[in-house]
Structure 1
Amino acid sequence: MLLTELTQILFAQVATPNVVANKLEFSFWDILFHGGAFAKIVMATVLALGVFSVYIFFERFFYIRRMTTKTDENFMNYIEDFIRDGKIEAAADYCKTQNSPESRILEKGISRLGRPVSDIVSAMESQAQIEVANMEKNLNLLAVVPSIAPMLGLLGTVIGMIIAFFDLSHAEGAFSPKTLSEGIYTALGQTAVGLAVAIPANFFYNILLTRIDKFVLRTQNVSGEFLDLINKPL
């Protein structure tokens, strides 16, 4: 009888930790919003920055792609034919029908034909700067996210640690590791989310810059071809 009771007690002691362990499920979402009001405000702000960065990226990405895929492949051939035939107005009208960054840049150059080459180059460069500025619209806001998000996360971490140690210093009775550990993992969750938002935002920003740099190179090539065309002997 005594042996049976001891066996039941041992099985109960072994089974109890398993039950508790099975009930413990890691939920990152619960950790994010586990802190007080300040921690929740910081977390909501960081997540809002993440959503904002995704919106800016896709809005700019599709805009840049739309602007850089409008030009006809035979665009420069048509311009060359018009200019060689002396149809300057027809060349300008053709540029207007294309309604692309390259066509607007060449339109400025065509409108200055007959003037010194420096005036033509200046007009084309000014229009190119306008086109680049349109593509870079709101990119400065996207560039701010990788800087602000980790700082907000770090701020939430520091405040969370302060609150955790403050609660610990005023705790009465026996010390419980849970009092400190809850504050620590809540605080570290703030930094983790800040980095999780900043890293993709920085990646998005560099992707857009790369596409804009490619566009700038294209405009330089188009401008160079146009200058070679008007300076080429008939």
Structure 2
Amino acid sequence: MFPFFLFQDPTTTATDGGEVVPEEVSFSLIEVIFSGGPIGVVIAVILLLLAVMAVYILIERYLTIKRAGDLDENFMAQIRGFVQTGDVESALALCRQTNTPVARLVAKGLQRIGKPLEDINAAVENVGNLEIFQLEKRLSTLATISGAAPMIGFFGTVTGMILSFMNMAGGDVSTEALAGGIYQALITTAFGLFVGIIAFIGYNSLIASMGRVIFKMEAATVEFMDLLQEPA
């Protein structure tokens, strides 16, 4: 289930020909993490929780933003046809059936028809700001994870080296005594960087996807306001 790392054991074996060959010993990732002591385990657990949280946010936000950007290309054409014929109720019904930010923007504008264009535009912009806020939900947490995970990993590096030097100061300079701290330093750093990279790439990808949705919202708003200003 877990990847294995190969380390050369300090003990050696001799072949029949007298050649000395080092033995290779396998350690699972779990064993390496626990060899770093309590601090290493705590840091690894924290990084694991951050990784799970980052993956959850990535998947949940990706699906939400994808649904927000899925809009029928004929939606605005249908709205235009209803408004030009004066059938506002049918246009509102179409907006209610279309669960997207663009549809909610248009619906708010349709509900304000008959009022000054400035009031309609202000109402649509307010709804747009609310929709953007909903799209940005949890993205700040993902950005925090992308920066915090490597820092936590580096903290594990420092504590791991402190552990190794403490063992050396106590007079124990054997490989076994130093290995725990070094394991902790390397594993926590690698794990922290891995989580941070995944969160960083995911955050920027989601921001790019959200930008495309916002562009669609702005384009629909402009088209709708132009529609209201067309001569009857």
The structure number with the bigger radius of gyration is: 1
Contact kept? 2:161, 2:181, Cα under 8 Å:
yes
Contact kept? 2:164, 2:178, Cα under 8 Å:
yes
* Displacement after TM superposition at 1:145 (Å): 0.7
* Displacement after TM superposition at 1:183 (Å): 2.1
Contact kept? 1:33, 1:43, Cα under 8 Å:
no
TM-score normalised by structure 1 residue count? 0.86
TM-score normalised by structure 2 residue count? 0.86
Paired AA for residue 195 in structure 1: L
Give the aligned CA root-mean-square deviation in angstroms: 2.0
Deviation sequence 1:24-83 (CA, Å, 0-9, x none): 3465443333211111011111011111101110011112212321x3221111111111
- Structure 2 partner of 1:189: 187
Q: How does 1:47-196 map to 2 (within 5 A)?
A: 47-69=48-70, 71-171=71-171, 175-196=173-194
- Structure 1 partner of 2:202: 204
Higher strand share: 2
Contact kept? 1:146, 1:202, Cα under 8 Å:
yes
Mapped to 2, the partners of 1:56 and 1:99 lie a distance apart of 21
Mapped to 1, the partners of 2:203 and 2:166 lie a distance apart of 40
- SS at the partner of 1:114? coil
- Structure 1 partner of 2:211: 213
Contact kept? 1:60, 1:208, Cα under 8 Å:
yes
Contact kept? 2:37, 2:180, Cα under 8 Å:
no
Q: For structure 1, list consecutive stretches of 5 or more residues without a partner in the other structure.
A: 1-8
* Displacement after TM superposition at 1:129 (Å): 1.4
Percent identity, please. 35
- Structure 1 partner of 2:38: 37
- SS at the partner of 2:19? helix
Paired AA for residue 224 in structure 2: F
* Displacement after TM superposition at 1:193 (Å): 0.8
- Structure 1 partner of 2:6: none
- SS at the partner of 1:24? strand
* Displacement after TM superposition at 1:91 (Å): 1.7
Structure 1 stretch 115-124 or stretch 84-93: which is displaced more? Answer: 84-93
* Displacement after TM superposition at 1:147 (Å): 1.6
Contact kept? 2:47, 2:149, Cα under 8 Å:
yes
1:118–1:220 CA distance, 2 compared to 1 (3 A)? same
Higher helix share: 1
Structure 1 stretch 131-140 or stretch 119-128: which is displaced more? Answer: 131-140
* Displacement after TM superposition at 1:154 (Å): 1.2
